[in-house]
Chain A
Amino acid sequence: MPVAATSVRELEIDGEITLFHEPTQTALVLNTTASDVWRLIDGHRSAADIAALLASSYGADPEVVRTDVESALDTLSGHDLVATAPG
């Protein structure tokens, strides 16, 4: 279950999200899909839940979207912006 880190600051510019991780002083600019993934992380939805919601929203192949979602989550967790909680 992906959970947003608490020490993250967020800004939105023209529909895309940029994040700043205070402990590592790292800034990240998310692409459109990653921005949508970030918005849907609430500590309750699983990666599969997020992928299903986005596939429905985009009208796209769920498997393709799931791959993109997992890639976005990997990037976010690689920058300590997202942790995985048991769920």
Chain B
Amino acid sequence: MSGRLVVEVAGVSIEVVGADTTALRSVLGDVLTPDDAPAERVVDLGDAGPSGVETVLAAVARAAVEPARGLLLHAGAVVRDGRAVLFPGASGQGKSTLTAACLQQGFDYLSDELVAVDLDTGTVTGWPRPLMLTPWSAATLGLDGADGAEGVAAVGAGKTAVAAAALGAAPVRSSVEVAHVVLARRDGGAAPPVPVAAGDVLREVLAASFNHYVHGARAWQAAARLAGSAHGWLLGVGDVATAADAVAALLDGSGAAAWPEGSGAGGPPA
């Protein structure tokens, strides 16, 4: 082992220097490439001392924006039976929590942060970084107090990094067809998913894109193809376990019809 730290983001290899690579290596296992792999970009974190995992992840994601060959979306994503469900949106809408809850229910893992849409096929590949959970998320998922368990590490700023394997899931590195796009709303209580129009999905996808300006019309066409081919849903994630059940039902084909009678009365979380 050379000590180099090379992280892959959306097909782009990025070497991280100026960080405590030994400490980071154990947390970033699912997104590392062999340390003798050539790097397309270098991120120098300077002499700031040991860098937090979140700092490194943000830096390498930024470094991938320009060279990435696909349309990068800020989105969580899970897979079952070769079909993906995307949760596009800004931070704070519950993407990571919903993604983690889905993994606990048997989904495989694409990302809690970023996917790349293939400009030609519309399929997505993920970035299976460790899930970065807030204290509220960790407690909601029954992971509070789990720091130190295999694949679970406190990484500063109150966050817990959780490997997919610690949630019983496998990272998926292949390209996957998108079956559903779920617009998660943290202020929504327990209610059945509501179908949304393709135009609304497209607005959300465009708003969640990092690098549409790099690919111009091809990115717009890919986003429109994705929005037009996947089913769009609005889903409250105030009760995250129930929301994960709803996501599973979407892929089972039962969708909102599987929702228990009278279960739409829940309010936002306290």
Contacts and interface: CB of A to CB of B under 8 A. Distances in A.
B217 A29 contact: no
A18 B225 CA distance: 11
Q: Interface residues of A: mostly helix, strand, loop or mixed? A: strand
A18 B199 contact: yes
A16 B197 contact: yes
B198 A16 contact: yes
- Interface size grouping (class) on chain B: 10 to 19
B210 interface: no
A20 B227 contact: no
B196 to A, nearest CB: 10
Interface string A12-31: 01101010101001010111
Contacts of B22: none
A11 B213 contact: no
A50 B206 CA distance: 29
Contact of A29 (B203, B212, B216, B221): B203
Contacts of A18: 199, 202, 220, 224
Contact of A11 (B197, B206, B224): B224
A13 B206 CA distance: 14
- Interface size grouping (class) on chain A: 10 to 19
A27 B206 contact: yes
Contact of B198 (A9, A14, A20, A31): A14
A29 B206 contact: yes
B198 A11 contact: no
A33 to B, nearest CB: 12
Contacts of B228: 13-14
Contact of A25 (B199, B216, B227): B216
A27 B208 CA distance: 13
18 contacts: A9-B217, A13-B198, A13-B199, A13-B224, A13-B227, A14-B198, A16-B198, A18-B202, A18-B224, A22-B216, A22-B217, A25-B213, A25-B216, A27-B212, A29-B199, A29-B202, A29-B206, A30-B199
Given A11-B224, A13-B224, A16-B199, 4 more contacts: A11-B220, A13-B228, A18-B199, A30-B199
Interface of B: 197-199, 202-203, 206, 212-213, 216-217, 220-221, 223-224, 227-228
Identify the 10 closest CB pairs spanning chains A and B, nearest first: A16-B199, A13-B228, A14-B198, A13-B198, A20-B220, A27-B220, A29-B199, A11-B224, A29-B203, A29-B202
